[in-house]
Structure formats: structure tokens, C-alpha cells
């Protein structure tokens, strides 16, 4: 498939495009095909799953997804496509999932999670499920904009952003990943509808994670992947070893 000829405004083509980028990253870094991977907050779209399928992954895949409907639909899809993997779904927020994870994994992977994780902390339980089950799924633009406007104008948006960042530090400390790969590219939906804040705060958090946690930087891998136009919105690194000490010192 020639990526450059795709109409990326079409959902299936966009998912194929992003999955191809992930697959090419896996090839460049030599992701272990029989390793252990943790995927964070995929929602209901299997971009990373599709990439792992194309790559021929046959190891253990642990999915952390707090939305029950999304996790159920995603695991059904993964189970229908992956015949040789050990699939584990955890229907909890990241902070409540960390204790269930192994002490060593090969990779932490997450595609465009940070804006969802931030707004997820802003919403109460019933609001959370309604927002992700109905508003995003049905593209309820007015309600989506209303909620994000509330986040932007709130007094604790920065606190929530930092809280998500600390959870990632806890995750890195617990699982000791060989590599962390997180994307937070600009959202076509937000950009088209002139909702700027989700991309802004998500990108801020991505940069915070990169600045505070990098032990070994693997971002040069992205130079060899022609489909990526916004390399600064991807993070590839092995976390440094003193995260716990540095976090406690703050």
C-alpha cells in the first residue's frame, strides 16, 4: 500500500497510516516478537494492535484501558486476529493497574493517549463513560468542546497534567521497560473543529515526559521513517534509572 496516495481524512486510511508508522518503528528498534509489551489507553481503535499484527508479534500483550466497552471490543478484535499471543486486558485506570504489571517488560507503547488521560481525570465516573462511549463515538462536537473548555478554564488543569506524568513515572519504575514509545500527534478532529487545548496540553505533557525521564534517547530512529512529518510529537526512550529518587525529591 502506498501511504502517500491515501486520503488520510478517511478513518480506515488514517488508522492504516498510523499503524504503518508503528510497524516501521518496531522494525527499526528490533522489537522482540516474543517479548512482553504494555499498551496504555488504546481506546477502541487498534492502531498499535494492527501494527503488531503486521510485524508478526507473538508474545504477551497487556492492554490497560479504563473504559470497559472499549476494552471489551478491542480484546475481541485482537483475539480474532492474533492466534499466537498471550492477551491480558486490565480494565482500570493507569494508577490502579501498575501494581498488576510485571517487574520487567520489553516495551511500553501508547498511541495518542495523553489528552484522553487528562480529560479522564477531570471527569467523574459516569461522566467518563458517557463522554467516551457517546460523545467521542458520535462526534458530539458541542459537548466535546464544552468539556474541554471546562478543563482549560479550571484551576487544576496543570495539576491533572502533572498527576498523569507522575503515574507514568510509577509505571516506568515498576516495569523497567527497555523502551517507551508514545505518540501525541495533532488530532485531525480537534484541528478541523478549532479545539486547540487538547493538543496543546497533550503535547506539553509529552515534552514533560521526555525531558524528565529520558535515560537513553532513541528518537533518531524516527529520522528513517519517511511517513512521520511531526517527529517532535513522538517520544522514544529508555527511562533513566533514578526516576523514583528524582520524583521523591520534587
The pLDDT value given to residue 249: 36
* pLDDT value at 8 more than 60: no
At residue 135, the pLDDT reads: 60
Map out the domains of the chain as residue ranges: 18-248
Lowest mean pLDDT among 52-56, 64-68, 240-244: 240-244
Which pLDDT score, from 0 to 100, does residue 52 have?
95
Topology of domain 18-248, CATH: Rossmann fold (3.40.50)
pLDDT bin (cut points 50, 70, 90) of residue 4 is: very low
Burial 131-149, CB ≥16 within 10 A → b, else e: bbeebbeeeeeeebeebbe
State pLDDT tens for residues 208-229.
Answer: 999 888 899 999 999 989 889 8
Instruction: Calculate mean pLDDT across residues 7-34.
Output: 85
CA torsion 227-232-233-238 (nearest 10°) is 100
129 vs 198: which has the higher pLDDT:
198
> Angle at CA 107, nearest 5°, toward 9 and 24?
45
* 39-48, 96-105, 193-202, range with the lowest pLDDT: 39-48
CB 95 within 8 A of CB 168: no
Banded model confidence at residue 45, pLDDT cuts 50, 70, 90: confident
Q: Are strands 234-239 and 214-217 parallel, antiparallel or unpaired?
A: antiparallel
Nearest alpha-carbon partner for 46 in 83, 69, 71, 25? 71
Per-residue model confidence as pLDDT tens digits over 149-182: 999 999 999 999 999 999 999 999 999 999 999 9
Q: Please indicate whether residue 96 or residue 43 has the higher confidence score (pLDDT).
A: 96
Reported pTM: 0.90
pLDDT computed for residue 208 by the predictor: 93
Q: Is the per-residue pLDDT at 7 higher than 70?
A: no
Residue 26 has pLDDT above 90, yes or no: yes
Amino acid at each position: 500500500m502506498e501511504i502517500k496516495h491515501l486520503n488520510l481524512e478517511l478513518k480506515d486510511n488514517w488508522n492504516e497510516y498510523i499503524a504503518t508508522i508503528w510497524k516501521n518503528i518496531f522494525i527499526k528498534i528490533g522489537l522482540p516478537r516474543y517479548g512482553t509489551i504494555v499498551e496504555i489507553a488504546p481506546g477502541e481503535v487498534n492502531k498499535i494492535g494492527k501494527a503488531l499484527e503486521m510485524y508478526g508479534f507473538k508474545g504477551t500483550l497487556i492492554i490497560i484501558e479504563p473504559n470497559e466497552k472499549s476494552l471489551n471490543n478491542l480484546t475481541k478484535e485482537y483475539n480474532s486476529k492474533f492466534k499466537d499471543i498471550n492477551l491480558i486486558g486490565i480494565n482500570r485506570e493507569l494508577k490502579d493497574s501498575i501494581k498488576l504489571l510485571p517487574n520487567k517488560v520489553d516495551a511500553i507503547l501508547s498511541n495518542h493517549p495523553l489528552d484522553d488521560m487528562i480529560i479522564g481525570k477531570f471527569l467523574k465516573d459516569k461522566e467518563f463513560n458517557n463522554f467516551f462511549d457517546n460523545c467521542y463515538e458520535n462526534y458530539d462536537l458541542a459537548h466535546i468542546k464544552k468539556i474541554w473548555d471546562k478543563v482549560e478554564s479550571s484551576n487544576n488543569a496543570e495539576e491533572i497534567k502533572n498527576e498523569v506524568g507522575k503515574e507514568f513515572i510509577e509505571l516506568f519504575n515498576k516495569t523497567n521497560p527497555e523502551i517507551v514509545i508514545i505518540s501525541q500527534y495533532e488530532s485531525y478532529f480537534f484541528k478541523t473543529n478549532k479545539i486547540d487545548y487538547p493538543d496543546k496540553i497533550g503535547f506539553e505533557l509529552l515534552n514533560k515526559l521526555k525531558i524528565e525521564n529520558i535515560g537513553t534517547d532513541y528518537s533518531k530512529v524516527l529520522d528513517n521513517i519517511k511517513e512521520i512529518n511531526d517527529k517532535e510529537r513522538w517520544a522514544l526512550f529508555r527511562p533513566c534509572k533514578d526516576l523514583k529518587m528524582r520524583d521523591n525529591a520534587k
